[in-house]
């Protein structure tokens, strides 16, 4: 920890529609590797890059499923910060809120390689660069993303789990089982 830092905080944002074992394995392994005190699973209110392209479950339902997924897991917490803010969810604003609550925190934004590839399209990305270290994990089936010059950038190896919320929504629609791809608390919640 940097001298004077109050905590090392991971921020893992997503739509989590629904949360699956790929998300959970990323969160616990990044926390372990980088010795983060906590990882917040930050549920997007309106994922502006997805709105319009498909139906998205209500934010409170997605939040309840993430809550069910992390209940009792050490160091993982769900965050409703973007639901409380309302409107479109921008990481730049979320980081600013987390720093205004405690300016001494060190922030780590955790991204799968597909999300990292789109980083420069984010709203006010320069504010993200200034406020946090980016942590990239490889996502099976997506190309590795080189570190962006001028960014604080880490890479963490996590187990490769080829699962996506899109595939799980398809399964739920067809009545195929979700078991072992999401936790059973999440199955119960869906
Ligand atoms: P969707 O198919 O709806 O886009 P998703 O499975 O990609 O869902 P998101 O909520 O979009 O899940 O992703 C949140 C974050 O989790 C992103 O940074 C994404 O790259 C990462 N992520 C999701 N699934 C995996 C996985 N299987 N392995 C590694 N990273 C993942
Ligand atoms: Mg996705």
d(C-alpha 182, C-alpha 172), whole Å: 12
Q: Whose CA is nearest to atom 8 of ligand 1?
A: 165
> What does the block give as tokens for 89?
């969810």
Name the nearest CA neighbour of 42 among 85, 106, 100, 101.
85
CA 86 and chain centroid, separation = 18
182 lines ligand 1 (CB under 6 A): no
Alpha-carbon torsion 120, 126, 127, 129, what sign?
A: positive
Number of H helices, E strands in the chain: 8, 6
d(C-alpha 44, C-alpha 57), whole Å: 11
Greater model confidence, 183 or 50: 183
Banded pLDDT at 1 (limits 50, 70, 90): low
Kindly state the average pLDDT of the residues 49-78. 92
Spacing, Cα 115 to ligand 1 middle (Å): 8
Task: Look at residue 134 in the predicted model and tell me its pLDDT.
Answer: 98
Task: Look at residue 55 in the predicted model and tell me its pLDDT.
Answer: 86
Q: Which 8-state DSSP code applies to residue 124?
A: T
Banded pLDDT at 147 (limits 50, 70, 90): very high
Task: Look at residue 2 in the predicted model and tell me its pLDDT.
Answer: 67
Kindly state the average pLDDT of the residues 42-57. 83
Asked if the model's pLDDT at residue 42 lies above 80, the reply is: yes
The minimum-distance atom of ligand 1 relative to the CA of 111 is: 18
Nearest ligand, measured from the Cα of 15? 1
Q: What are phi and psi of 65, to 5 degrees?
A: -70, -40
Query: For the chain, what percent of residues have pLDDT higher than 70?
Result: 98
65 lines ligand 1 (CB under 6 A): no
Query: For the chain, what percent of residues have pLDDT higher than 90?
Result: 91
d(C-alpha 66, C-alpha 15), whole Å: 10
Task: Look at residue 85 in the predicted model and tell me its pLDDT.
Answer: 94
CA 108 and chain centroid, separation = 11
Nearest ligand, measured from the Cα of 142? 1
Asked if the model's pLDDT at residue 96 lies above 90, the reply is: yes
Asked if the model's pLDDT at residue 49 lies above 80, the reply is: no
91 lines ligand 1 (CB under 6 A): no
């Amino acid at each position: 920890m940097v001298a004077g830092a109050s905590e090392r905080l991971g921020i893992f944002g997503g739509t989590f529609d629904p949360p699956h074992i790929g998300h959970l394995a990323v969160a616990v392994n990044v926390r372990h590797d980088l010795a983060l005190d906590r990882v917040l699973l930050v549920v997007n209110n309106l994922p502006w890059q997805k709105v319009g392209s498909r139906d998205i479950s209500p934010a409170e339902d997605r939040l309840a499923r993430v809550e069910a997924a992390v209940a009792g897991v050490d160091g993982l917490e769900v965050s409703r910060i973007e639901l409380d803010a309302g409107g479109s969810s921008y990481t730049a604003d979320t980081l600013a809120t987390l720093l205004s609550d405690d300016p001494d925190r060190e922030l780590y934004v955790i991204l799968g390689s597909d999300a990292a590839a789109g980083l420069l399209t984010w709203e006010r990305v320069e504010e993200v660069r200034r406020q946090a270290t980016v942590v990239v994990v490889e996502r099976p089936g997506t190309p590795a993303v080189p570190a962006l010059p001028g960014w604080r950038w880490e890479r963490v190896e996590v187990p490769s789990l080829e699962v996506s919320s899109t595939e799980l929504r398809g399964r739920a629609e067809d009545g195929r089982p979700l078991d072992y791809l999401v936790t059973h608390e999440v199955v119960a919640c869906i």
